[in-house]
Structure 1
Amino acid sequence: MNKRKNYLLTDNGVKAIAKQSAPTKRTRHSDGDSLSLIHDPKGSLYWVMSYRYQSDKDIEPKQKTYHIGTYKPSSQVIDTNFKPEVSLKQARLARDSAKKLLNDGIDPNEHKNRHKNSYEQKDLFKFIAKNYMSEKSKTTSKNVQKLQGFLDNHILKHIGEYPIGAITAQDIIKTGLAIQTTFEQQGKHTSETAHKCMGLISSIFDYAINTLGHDIVNIASGRNKALRPHKAERMKAVEQHQFPELLRNIDSYIEKHPNGHQQTVAGLQLMTLCFVRTKELRFFEWSEIDYHKSVWRVPAHKMKMRQDHIIPLSSQAMAIIESLRPLTESTGYVFYNFESNKPYSEAWFNQALNRMGYSGDPYPKMTGHGFRQLASTGLYELQFSESIIEIQLAHLEQSSVKKRYDLSAHLAQRQVMMNKWANHLDDLRAGKAVSFDLLTPNELAKEMDSRNEQATDIALHDKDILINSLRAQGVSQQVLARLAEQL
């Protein structure tokens, strides 16, 4: 009697089978020792182990099949980047584990079912995601609502009920492709949301591993490569030559929309002058204004970069702010929605712009964020330096105390820039021809000198606050003296 041969298949041999056309009927490729690769007519390949088992209810042993896992789903293409879900080596190890169970008198299929059903609710992806969102909301509220929307609207309906340890790479890829298809059906060729959902799934896997101690691999990492690449679109905004008409439409907003609010006009006007992020303006508090220095100090917790931000206020900006004092000072906020008894919502600016026609008809699409884009382009045309513009846009993230005070060193230039910008907008509004020439070197030097003293005062003021805060925390005088020298 010939001895049965084992290890008949090779990695290259299995890959060659995978590249073949799907057979007309199910085909079995034996590796020996009860392990086989099944090629399905639909094109998928999967591993099975054949065995015989007699339970207490059986008169004699029955022939059974143990499904180990998928080598390649029917939809996957074999290319240079292909990786099997369950490789030949992994299939052999799973077969060996199943045989050990048989030697102990345990049916591997029954063991698998018991294990599958033994997951607790806390192991389900949806519960881990809930914990992740809860933890994230404690550290920062930024985008938490948006991330929750990704889960509720797109992710959980696909993998929410799965134990996280049972989710496969293909489960995640199919989820991402389904989300992408949803947006394709809406006429969008690429979907930023699909890519962000894949990133969120990966973050939840990391949370499960690093925080909750799940002994799994983050198989979600890198799966967004299965999606069509997303090309970021330019933020919607009018062009520079359309800016003057936008300014005039803002000024006449209440005249054309009698139900409009004075605060909406003031908010849009202030956005054109200060070009902060809409959230920073919506939650602008009276206590953040330094009247002596004519600056608005936005605390770090309100900023995207999580650092304090100083906004020099032109005389035009101060006039707009002061016009609101009789209306909102008692609330603590410069802008306050009395109908809902809280600051205005994210939709505040966009709704007003839509009413003015900046929704694609008759004017181009425009959003609240678009004012930052308009200011950036306009200031570059006015030939201000990139570093000053980027600092004022709060794009530069500072990582040390000294860098923080480097910002104050540029405050004089920023004050010049913000005043020039306010005057530039007045010229646009009035329809004047705009010259993009800067001051002569002598004129610039004279104006800068007159402001350097004020900028130094602000820097020293911030320095004193920091030193006093550290002293109250018990930092030694010697360390404080060295720090003061560096600042």
Structure 2
Amino acid sequence: MRKDYLLTDNGVKAIAKQSAPDKVTRHSDGNSLSLIQHPNGSLFWQMSYRYQSVKDIKPKQKTYQIGIYKSSKQVIDSSFKPQVSLKQARIERDKAKALLADGIDPTEHKSVEKNNFEQKDLFKVIATSYLDEKSKTTAKNVQKLQGFLDNHILKHLGDYPIGAITAQDIIKTGLAIQATFEQQGKHTSETAHKCMGLISAIFEYAINTLGYDITNIAIGRNKALRPHKAERMKAVEQHQFPELLRHIDNYIKNHPNGHEQTVAGLQLMTLCFVRTKELRFFEWSEIDYHKNVWRIPAHKMKMRQDHIIPLSPQAIAVIERMRPLTEHTGYVFYNFESNKTYSEAWFNQALQRMGYTGDPYPKMTGHGFRQLASTGLYELKFSKNVIEIQLSHLDQSSVKNRYDLSAHLAERQVMMNQWARHIDNLRTGCAVNFGLLSPEALNNVMTERGRQEMQIVAYEKETLIRYLKSKGVSQEILAKLAEQL
């Protein structure tokens, strides 16, 4: 008599924890069910059976693939859950046995079932539903994703049910998109990589939101493409920055039909190095005059997280120049000709009118001010964390990074004031090269920055204590709070 139920849950987990074997190893559970251990570290369930079709002279030995217990990339730890457990594998084995008893080949039956799909299962239908969900983001982002689908992805995958798409289908799609750009003379394509990422996101949406019982086989398939090296954002070099500042200041003089708001907007970008969208939709209500900061709400930020920009006296002066002109609109910058906020291209077009097109001056865009500020602040010896937080590059989703965001605010206030003074010095040609400072002079600068940061922290502490006292908080509690602060 053949024995059945030879494996246990703990026994299978123990096998999974073993080092991968040199060759495929079979662990029998009995009654035709086996756990297959592959040299790449994966484990999966198989059922062996014999079946004779009408075309066969005699029964053939066949294998029915039940499912994966553990993929090669999964790690066995306290949170591990098998994709197909021992119990589930036995149930599927019994179903396959029942089909055999009725004269049905379970492998053929599975193939037929796989091809039975409804219109809603098609990749193009699920992709459309995914974009409807993404409509909560910016219209520009949705338009870009729709372009990836219409121009590149759907012609390859659109008419397939999502459960029938294979890893090779996705790889072939990526290679086809890459080949399209090769024909245009581009050796690597950022679009091909972004399309692969979009396919993976649609699979995740189908699994997590629509409840499809499939595996995201699109993960990692971009490795089949040539690596894409991102081009550096167009911007002038540091030594060309002073000339750019003077061109901005003289914009109205050289372009009499130009808007004063254009000058102010470009000046504010040099001081605050925000993204163009954040500048265009800057509202008066976002200014906190008590702390002299600009608070940008999450929905306006690329990272979808609130952002704080300390405003230097120079930045405040630029903003206040706009108050008589635009305060009644609610926006700091407002295009009265079109009766709406400025377009995405407005400030870039102003730079082009100044000649920053590659001839006679290097190409320059609004985003280039962020690159100039990043390089300049590193040269001024500010810390990486402070710079990256101010550029809103750091992920602030974790508790630690949210704490850092608050803890570095005093340092950022000092940094933004120093950056504004540095820009003033660049205009007049008397900026200090920190690389040429003696160790003693550099130490004095750092000590002075530390003193300024402490003054800001002390002022904030005193302001908070005065406010709480005015609200009737007891002296005892205030004393404890002051001690903790």
Is 1:156 the counterpart of 2:154 in the alignment? yes
Q: Where does the alignment leave 5 or more consecutive residues of structure 1 unmatched? A: 1-10, 12-32, 36-48, 53-92, 466-481
Q: 1:341 to 1:175 in 2, by over 3 A?
A: farther
What amino acid is aligned across from residue 452 of structure 1 in structure 2?
Answer: M
SS in 2 for 1:143: helix
Q: 1:244 to 1:187 in 2, by over 3 A?
A: farther
Question: Shift in Å at residue 240 of structure 1?
Answer: 0.6
Give the alignment partner of residue 176 of structure 1, picking from 174, 177, 191: 174
Instruction: State how far apart, in whole Å, the 1-side matches of 2:276 and 2:235 are.
Output: 14
Name the residue aligned to 1:333. Answer: 331
Instruction: State how far apart, in whole Å, the 1-side matches of 2:361 and 2:144 are.
Output: 28
Which deviations, in whole Å up to 9, do the C-alpha atoms of 1:252-284 show, x marking residues without a partner? 223333333222221111001111222222221
Question: Shift in Å at residue 301 of structure 1?
Answer: 3.4
Name the residue aligned to 2:417. Answer: 419
**Worse-matched range after superposition: 453-462 or 311-320:** 453-462
Map 1:436-475; keep pairs closer than 5 Å: 436=434, 437=437, 445=447, 449=451, 452-458=454-460
Instruction: State how far apart, in whole Å, the 2-side matches of 1:341 and 1:251 are.
Output: 25
Name the residue aligned to 1:280. Answer: 278
Q: 1:292 to 1:207 in 2, by over 3 A?
A: closer
SS in 1 for 2:424: helix
Instruction: State how far apart, in whole Å, the 2-side matches of 1:298 and 1:462 are.
Output: 22
Name the residue aligned to 1:237. Answer: 235
Name the residue aligned to 1:136. Answer: 134
Question: Shift in Å at residue 129 of structure 1?
Answer: 0.8
Instruction: State how far apart, in whole Å, the 1-side matches of 2:350 and 2:385 are.
Output: 32
Instruction: State how far apart, in whole Å, the 2-side matches of 1:340 and 1:355 are.
Output: 20
Question: Shift in Å at residue 197 of structure 1?
Answer: 0.5
What amino acid is aligned across from residue 135 of structure 2 in structure 1?
Answer: S
SS in 1 for 2:309: strand
Name the residue aligned to 1:22. Answer: none
Q: 1:50 to 1:453 in 2, by over 3 A?
A: farther
Question: Shift in Å at residue 234 of structure 1?
Answer: 2.0
Question: Shift in Å at residue 459 of structure 1?
Answer: 6.8
Which deviations, in whole Å up to 9, do the C-alpha atoms of 1:33-63 show, x marking residues without a partner? 999xxxxxxxxxxxxx9949xxxxxxxxxxx
Question: Shift in Å at residue 113 of structure 1?
Answer: 8.6
Name the residue aligned to 2:353. Answer: 355
Q: 1:340 to 1:126 in 2, by over 3 A?
A: farther
Q: 1:139 to 1:269 in 2, by over 3 A?
A: closer
Which deviations, in whole Å up to 9, do the C-alpha atoms of 1:173-214 show, x marking residues without a partner? 222122212222332211111011101101111211222122
Which deviations, in whole Å up to 9, do the C-alpha atoms of 1:458-487 show, x marking residues without a partner? 47879999xxxxxxxxxxxxxxxx999987
Which deviations, in whole Å up to 9, do the C-alpha atoms of 1:211-252 show, x marking residues without a partner? 212233322222212211112222221111111111122222
Contact 1:409 1:456 in 2 (8 A): no
Contact 1:408 1:458 in 2 (8 A): no
Instruction: State how far apart, in whole Å, the 1-side matches of 2:229 and 2:262 are.
Output: 33
Instruction: State how far apart, in whole Å, the 2-side matches of 1:251 and 1:158 are.
Output: 52
Question: Shift in Å at residue 414 of structure 1?
Answer: 2.4
Contact 2:235 2:365 in 1 (8 A): yes
Give the alignment partner of residue 386 of structure 1, picking from 384, 387, 406: 384
Name the residue aligned to 2:427. Answer: 429
Q: 1:123 to 1:404 in 2, by over 3 A?
A: closer
Q: 1:121 to 1:322 in 2, by over 3 A?
A: same
Instruction: State how far apart, in whole Å, the 2-side matches of 1:171 and 1:184 are.
Output: 20
Name the residue aligned to 1:195. Answer: 193
Question: Shift in Å at residue 457 of structure 1?
Answer: 4.6
SS in 1 for 2:186: coil
Contact 1:34 1:50 in 2 (8 A): no
SS in 2 for 1:203: helix
Name the residue aligned to 1:324. Answer: 322
Instruction: State how far apart, in whole Å, the 1-side matches of 2:232 and 2:366 are.
Output: 14
Instruction: State how far apart, in whole Å, the 2-side matches of 1:453 and 1:433 are.
Output: 25
Contact 1:409 1:455 in 2 (8 A): no
Name the residue aligned to 1:315. Answer: 313
**Worse-matched range after superposition: 133-142 or 454-463:** 454-463
Is 1:292 the counterpart of 2:294 in the alignment? no
Instruction: State how far apart, in whole Å, the 2-side matches of 1:456 and 1:430 are.
Output: 34
Name the residue aligned to 1:127. Answer: 125
SS in 1 for 2:262: helix
Is 1:226 the counterpart of 2:228 in the alignment? no
Question: Shift in Å at residue 420 of structure 1?
Answer: 2.1
Instruction: State how far apart, in whole Å, the 2-side matches of 1:160 and 1:463 are.
Output: 62
What amino acid is aligned across from residue 356 of structure 1 in structure 2?
Answer: M
SS in 1 for 2:294: strand
Instruction: State how far apart, in whole Å, the 1-side matches of 2:51 and 2:459 are.
Output: 83
Q: How many corresponding residue pairs?
A: 394
Name the residue aligned to 2:269. Answer: 271
Instruction: State how far apart, in whole Å, the 1-side matches of 2:399 and 2:171 are.
Output: 44
Instruction: State how far apart, in whole Å, the 2-side matches of 1:277 and 1:445 are.
Output: 32
Question: Shift in Å at residue 421 of structure 1?
Answer: 1.5
Name the residue aligned to 2:7. Answer: none
Q: Where does the alignment leave 5 or more consecutive residues of structure 2 unmatched? A: 1-23, 25-49, 57-92, 468-479
Contact 1:289 1:295 in 2 (8 A): yes
Contact 2:335 2:342 in 1 (8 A): yes
Which deviations, in whole Å up to 9, do the C-alpha atoms of 1:61-112 show, x marking residues without a partner? xxxxxxxxxxxxxxxxxxxxxxxxxxxxxxxx9xx99x9799569xx89x98
Q: 1:348 to 1:212 in 2, by over 3 A?
A: same
Contact 1:411 1:455 in 2 (8 A): no
Instruction: State how far apart, in whole Å, the 1-side matches of 2:151 and 2:462 are.
Output: 50
Instruction: State how far apart, in whole Å, the 1-side matches of 2:464 and 2:145 are.
Output: 36
Contact 2:281 2:331 in 1 (8 A): yes
Instruction: State how far apart, in whole Å, the 1-side matches of 2:131 and 2:484 are.
Output: 41
Question: Shift in Å at residue 142 of structure 1?
Answer: 8.4
What amino acid is aligned across from residue 250 of structure 1 in structure 2?
Answer: I
Contact 1:294 1:313 in 2 (8 A): yes
Give the alignment partner of residue 370 of structure 1, picking from 350, 368, 371: 368
Name the residue aligned to 1:468. Answer: none
Instruction: State how far apart, in whole Å, the 2-side matches of 1:50 and 1:349 are.
Output: 74
Name the residue aligned to 2:81. Answer: none
SS in 2 for 1:324: helix
Give the alignment partner of residue 394 of structure 2, picking from 384, 393, 396: 396
Q: 1:102 to 1:341 in 2, by over 3 A?
A: farther
Instruction: State how far apart, in whole Å, the 2-side matches of 1:270 and 1:132 are.
Output: 37
TM-score (norm 2): 0.68
TM-score (norm 1): 0.68
